[in-house]
């Protein structure tokens, strides 16, 4: 486990400004809808989702799903599994998936396919960060906070072995091997 604080990659101020920009864009894009359902992907997206939802100016509901694609030690597993489902139906609803990170894209691809089968009126995705150089799955991110290099990142919901998740910035670490 790294013992030093992570090196800052994206500052708290830059994150705050970008979230305000995303919230404004989403509010404009969905301004004619009665309501949207924001689906946060646990655990990583909870901080981003909270800040994004508070900055938006349109009617919205929040729900969560839990998916697993990484083991506790950070090793990638084959496939994705659903560990917690939505509490309400999204049929006929406008749905915005809120994700912390898009790495290979497999998790987001799985989630979008799963939710699309539930017949929402619309389905879009928002991610705080993406490692575009690692994304192999065919996924569309409608709202993206930051594109980042292929480094292990922590903070602002992102973690390493369930540590560093609550840092107010996004930092990089060298994980234990």
CA angle 140, 8, 169 (to 5 degrees): 65
Q: In what order do the strands lie in the sheet with 122-130?
A: 76-84, 60-70, 36-42, 94-102, 122-130, 143-147
| 150 carries an active-site annotation | no
Given 13, 51, 63, 103, which residue is catalytic? 103
d(CA 26, CA 143): 8
For residue 41 the two structure tokens come to 């992907």
Active-site residue list? 103
């Amino acid at each position: 486990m790294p013992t030093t604080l992570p090196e800052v990659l994206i500052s708290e101020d830059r994150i705050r400004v970008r979230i305000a920009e995303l919230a404004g864009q989403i509010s404009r894009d969905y301004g004619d809808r009665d309501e949207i359902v924001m689906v946060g992907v646990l655990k990583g997206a909870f901080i981003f989702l909270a800040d994004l939802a508070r900055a938006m100016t349109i009617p919205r509901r929040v729900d969560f799903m839990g998916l697993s694609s990484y083991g506790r030690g950070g090793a990638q597993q084959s496939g994705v599994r659903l560990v917690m489902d939505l509490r309400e139906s999204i049929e006929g609803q406008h749905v915005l998936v809120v994700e912390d990170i898009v790495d290979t894209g497999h998790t987001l691809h799985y989630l979008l396919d799963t939710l699309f089968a539930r017949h929402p009126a619309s389905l879009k995705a928002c991610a705080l960060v993406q490692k575009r150089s690692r994304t192999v799955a065919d996924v569309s991110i409608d709202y993206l906070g930051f594109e980042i290099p292929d480094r292990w990142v922590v903070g602002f919901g992102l973690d390493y072995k369930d540590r560093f998740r609550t840092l107010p910035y996004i930092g990089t670490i060298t994980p234990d091997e």
